Amino acid sequence: MKKIEFKPLITTIVLIALQSICYLISKLLQGSPYLIGNEIDELIPFEIGFIIPYCIWYVLIFAVPYLLYKKDKESFIRYIYSYGICTIIANIIFICFPTTVLRPDIEVTGILTFIADIIFKIDTPILNCFPSLHCAISMLFITYILESKKYNKYTKISIVIISILIMASTMFVKQHVFVDFISGNLLALISYYSVKYFYKKNNYVKRLLKI
């Protein structure tokens, strides 16, 4: 039986805690939110089935860094940096440009609508949509898994497809609009390439985690 590694799990919990603290601070400092959305969003229907990939994000946020840590620790370290950069930049934007979107009312008629109703209630009032961190982190899943040479094509294809479905789900369950999707992906790519350019092999995170 393979030994469970706790470092990547604890690190992920710390990153999520950082994201949550930054989010709470941004809500305290921001003004009234701007309602965003355009004609493109009116063409995107509400599809309750997409609540499944939307929720899978909460699994991948632990699974992907764990996979990176097990087979490609250098990518894992750079993922940590990228995640942190995305969180900080996004929350600065949340403070300077707070946003909200329109969501449909949900009538609970089954398990999927029940799950969606819970998510909507937890995320009420809906604020800080631009950029979408759901999309940004999903794009980091894609970039770091694709760049690694330690994974077979089936693992890479699976992660890419699931991540794309997650990003699409943010619009189909009306948690985000199209501009949130675009800005989230741009944020992730800026973070990814910035870290790739400035990354040094012997760095603070590597020493801190002793890997």
Confidence of residue 61 (pLDDT cuts 50, 70, 90): very high
2-35 pLDDT, tens digit each: 678 899 999 999 999 999 999 989 988 988 999 9
pLDDT of residue 27: 86
What stretch of H or E contains 27?
A: helix 7-29
113-146 pLDDT, tens digit each: 999 999 999 988 888 999 999 999 999 999 999 9
Average the pLDDT over each of 23-32, 41-50, 61-70, 110-119 and give the range with the smallest value: 23-32
161-203 pLDDT, tens digit each: 999 999 999 999 999 999 999 999 999 999 999 998 887 665 6
pLDDT of residue 157: 97
pTM of this prediction?
Answer: 0.92
Report the candidate in 87, 89, 57 with the shortest Cα–Cα distance to residue 164: 57
For residue 76 the two structure tokens come to 């894992």
Residue 155 to residue 5: CA distance in whole angstroms: 20
Confidence of residue 210 (pLDDT cuts 50, 70, 90): low
pLDDT of residue 209: 67
Collapsing DSSP to helix, strand or coil, 80 comes out as: helix
pLDDT of residue 13: 96
No. of helices (H) and no. of strands (E), the chain: 9, 2
The gap from C-alpha 106 to its chain's centroid, in whole angstroms, comes to 24
